[in-house]
Amino acid sequence: MPEEKSRSSQDYIDLPGSASAGAKPAAGRAAEEKSDIHDAAAAGDVSVSGGTAEPEKPVLSPAMLAYLTSIVRLEQKNGKIRLVDIADELHVKKPSVCSALQVLRNAGCITSNGGRNIRLTDEGRRIGLSSSGREEFFCYILSRAGIDESAARQDACRMARAVSEESFQAMKIYEMKRRD
């Protein structure tokens, strides 16, 4: 099996402190994020990690997590998931969604028969709900800081995928202690 190239989150999104972080207005960030999602879907951004003792598990790129989070939201909202609805929610074209769905299918996160009957697997639902919860947490924090809702949602989406699990858990604990 060929060795897969290791990617950092900087391959997909601007991290705080990078040259372009915070330099774009909300409209520019939305267009850039849409481009990130399209480019990642076309590239098939998923890598596999694993060891000898455990089965290999997919490691999804931030863009694929955005697709998965959108699928979870659509399932909760509509009870069904259609390719066209994903494209509308993420403001991307249908071919980009088709590419992303293939990546998610190969990663074991969804099953589908074309773009009409998309279903989350248990693992896909678990990952999507976790990602959605992270977005909601960051959106809450940004809203409390006075950021308007649209910008908070866009930034929360990026933050949820840029912050490590360790940092995220520490931030949640800090916020809970701060509330008490």
Q: Give the pTM.
A: 0.64
Tens of pLDDT, residues 92-146:
999 999 999 999 999 999 998 765 789 999 999 999 999 999 999 999 999 999 9
Residue 66 in tokens? 């955005």
Name 40's Cβ contacts closer than 8 Å, sequence gap at least 6: 12, 61, 62, 63, 64, 100
d(CA 172, CA 74): 26
Q: Which helix (H) or strand (E) holds 84?
A: helix 83-90
Tens of pLDDT, residues 157-166:
889 888 888 9
What are the chain's domains? 24-179 (1.10.10.10)
d(CA 83, CA 51): 34
Amino acid residing at 174? Y
